[in-house]
């Protein structure tokens, strides 16, 4: 098992973008829970957002490590981009990462809709136990 320092160093060398996003999500959620302890955070990540869901989840583990939120989970909802024909008003079926340039029915250029999401969708938390006085 890697130490926290080694895990964080590994993330920094491979996923600086996701570490920055995880830190930003944590900062935002900490303000929302006002001293509470985060249990789960569910985010929507779009296919075109340039975010790798697995790296974001790994980055989350690193940024909450050693904090009161260290047992929290980050859940990622993957949101695919859609390709539609503006003329036929149909959505073109495609495999992830595969793109079509024109509509098979009418030849019109296809539009891309969605897939840019990076949104906090849901947060669950509990109130922190009051600290005991001496």
* Domains (range + CATH), the chain: 4-79+116-126 (3.30.2320.50)
pLDDT at 96: 76
User: pLDDT truncated to tens, each residue of the chain (134 aa)?
Assistant: 556 666 666 555 556 889 999 999 999 999 999 989 999 999 999 999 989 999 999 999 999 999 999 999 999 999 999 999 999 999 988 887 788 899 999 999 999 999 999 999 999 999 977 665 55
Spatial separation of the C-alpha atoms in residues 38 and 29, rounded to whole Å: 8
- Find out whether 32 and 123 touch, Cβ atoms under 8 Å: yes
Calpha distance 32→35 (Å, rounded): 9
Q: Tell me, what's the pLDDT at 51?
A: 92
pLDDT of 133: 55
| Alpha helical stretches, state H, the chain | 4-14, 16-33, 53-64
DSSP class of residue 109? Answer: B
Confidence (pLDDT) at 62:
93
């Amino acid at each position: 098992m890697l130490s926290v320092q080694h895990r964080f160093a590994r993330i920094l060398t491979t996923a600086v973008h996701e570490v920055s996003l995880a830190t930003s999500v944590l900062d935002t959620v900490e303000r929302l829970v006002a001293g509470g302890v985060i249990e789960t955070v569910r985010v929507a990540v779009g296919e075109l957002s340039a975010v790798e869901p697995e790296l974001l989840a790994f980055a989350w583990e690193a940024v909450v490590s050693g904090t009161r939120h260290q047992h929290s989970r980050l859940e990622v909802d993957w949101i695919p981009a859609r390709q539609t024909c503006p003329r036929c008003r149909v959505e073109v079926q495609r495999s992830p990462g595969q793109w079509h340039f024109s509509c098979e029915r009418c030849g019109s250029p296809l539009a891309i809709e969605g897939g840019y999401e990076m949104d906090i969708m849901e947060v669950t938390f509990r109130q922190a136990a009051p600290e005991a006085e001496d």
